[in-house]
A and B are shown apart, each in its own frame.
Chain A
Amino acid sequence: MYLQITNLNKDFQTKNGTLVVLKDINMTIKEGEFICAVGASGSGKSTLLRQIAGLDKPTSGELRIDGELITGPGPDRGMVFQHYTLYPWMNVQENTEFGLKLQGVPKKVRREQASYYLSVVGLANFAKSLPKELSGGMKQRAAIARALASEPKVLLMDEPFGALDIHTKESMHEFMLDLWKRTKITIFMITHDVEEAVFLSNRIYALGARPGTVRKEITIKLPDRTHSVKRHSIFHDYRDELMELLRKHGQEAVAVAA
């Protein structure tokens, strides 16, 4: 599987005229990769993900998955949203099954599939709980299980851990790396947290703001993926380079906005 984004542009028509949000985006994501896109708030990260998910159409350019043009949303792309989007009246089990139910999977099969992915994300004991009874980290894990249950080709994540405290976030990072190793799923994650991106991904696209463009593509090679690597100088070099990039292009964005 691979995801190909070519010359993507996205404008919005606003009261103050045309707002160019994404400009000349080119990206390639290959089978089994864990890719992060980092950018400041307002750099168009969510907008980019919405194009990939098929929730919105690009102004120009194209997106292809396995060579096929993306024209609308579909279960070949799972998504975890920036905000919590579990269905509040369904328990965790029903939430996880829901995608399969929508696609006509028989009850027994989908029950087993959902139970499997709930145990993968460590929520087997909370299958009967309502979303409001879960903590923030558990909600996002349930959302991940729901996205994975349809066995999508790629998992799209929009700042999934943005609202979590630092400790929960760190355990979610370990969880993501472990999940990625076990399921070999392709992941495209968006974040504004540079350390998170460096720690998790194989490759990073650094986005500048207003308009959102790819400023740099960095391949990450770390000696290992445990928390101690964050004290390693290689880790610091990657982080500092990205911080510098975002700072530079972030300031430009502020100047444009002012």
Chain B
Amino acid sequence: MNESPGSIRDYIRPKKLQPTVFWRIAEDIPRPLNTALVITSIGAPLLLWWLVTTFGNIDPKFLPSPAKVMEAFGRLWSTRELLKDTVASLWRVGVGFILAAAFSIPIGVLMGSFASIRALLEPLFGLMRYMPAPAFIPLLILYLGIGEEPKITLIFIGVFFFNSLMVMDTVKFVSKDLIEATYILGGDRKQALLQVIFPHVLPGIIDACRINLAAAWQLVIVSELIAATEGLGRRISVAGRFLRTDEIFVGLIVIGVIGLSFDLFFQYLLRVSCKWTTQKR
């Protein structure tokens, strides 16, 4: 039967899965290889930077060497300017983000749980989400002046709508069976909300917050480019004006490292608080 003309076997081109370590899909790689790749990821660009600035003939005003940047870092650190800038930026992000999280998490859970609240808020939030937060800056300056309030409000606007909608989406993954099981066990709606839905979506909430904190961190820098007396964004724009490229690099690196630490912190939080959800692929 297989030999009959026009058999499907004539069309099939056999393939073989070649053994590999590097290209295995959805599987772990050996630890040493992992470590080597992680080091390469950071080390290679650094090395390239060092090579280009050492052996290439490049104006330090255009691209300062790693050593120069370290020097600038030491200078800014010793005058305590860097610390002051960092604290100012962190404070703005902290207040704006915590306020936004405090409102958006409960609202998102309510929107996800109740079709009524979803119908009431989702159209508005969906619209607001597509208005870029920095576009509000002129209005915020008009309404709130140039102090801390407009900066914190900017972060609030930039985080609140996104976070509400992302938290709302996580509630979709709570199975209806689990809620109904709760009613049958004698629970009421409030208990289902607080003792079943909330713990179930907690990992999703932490993840949404992790992603939106990155947005908040970007917005604080943007807000400081406009009007501020201190802050990391302010540091970069001033350094730019005086062509102090090494200080721009210091600012950028500090911003990156702090952002990465936030991210790692949230990943850690997720791992320790929600052990039940870590599944092997």
Chain A interface (Cβ within 8 Å of chain B)? Answer: 53-55, 72-75, 77-79, 81, 83, 85, 87-89, 98-99, 102-103, 130, 132, 146, 150
Contacts and interface: CB of A to CB of B under 8 A. Distances in A.
Contact of B184 (A79, A88, A132): A79
Contacts of A79: 181, 184
28 contacts: A53-B180, A53-B184, A73-B184, A74-B184, A74-B186, A75-B184, A75-B185, A75-B186, A79-B181, A79-B184, A81-B177, A85-B177, A85-B181, A87-B199, A88-B277, A89-B274, A89-B276, A98-B185, A98-B195, A99-B185, A99-B186, A99-B187, A102-B188, A102-B195, A103-B186, A130-B275, A130-B276, A150-B186
Contact of A87 (B178, B180, B183, B184): B178
Contacts of B187: 99, 102
Interface string B167-200: 0000000010110111111111001000110011
A258 B277 CA distance: 43
A39 B220 CA distance: 63
Interface in B230-281: 274-277, 279
Contacts of A77: 184
Residue with the greatest number of chain B CB neighbours at <10 A, chosen from A72, A98, A132? A98
A107 B187 CA distance: 16
A81 B182 contact: no
A102 B196 CA distance: 11
B200 A89 contact: yes
Nearest to A83: B177
A75 to B, nearest CB: 4
A73 B200 contact: no
A88 B276 contact: yes
Nearest to A133: B276
Interface residues of B, number: 22
A83 to B, nearest CB: 6
Nearest to B186: A75
Contact of A73 (B180, B274, B279): B180
B225 to A, nearest CB: 43
A55 B182 CA distance: 11
Given A83-B177, A85-B178, A102-B191, A146 B185 contact: yes
Given A81-B177, A85-B177, A132-B279, A102 B184 contact: no
Contacts of B191: 102
B278 to A, nearest CB: 10
Of A72, A88, A150, the most chain B CB neighbours within 10 A belong to: A88
Nearest to A74: B186
Nearest to B192: A102
A241 B184 CA distance: 35
A8 to B, nearest CB: 19
Given A89-B274, A132-B276, A132-B279, A150 B196 contact: no
Contacts of A103: 186
Nearest to B200: A89
Kindly list the 5 A-B residue pairs having the minimum CB-CB distance in the complex, ordered from nearest: A99-B185, A75-B186, A102-B187, A73-B183, A89-B276
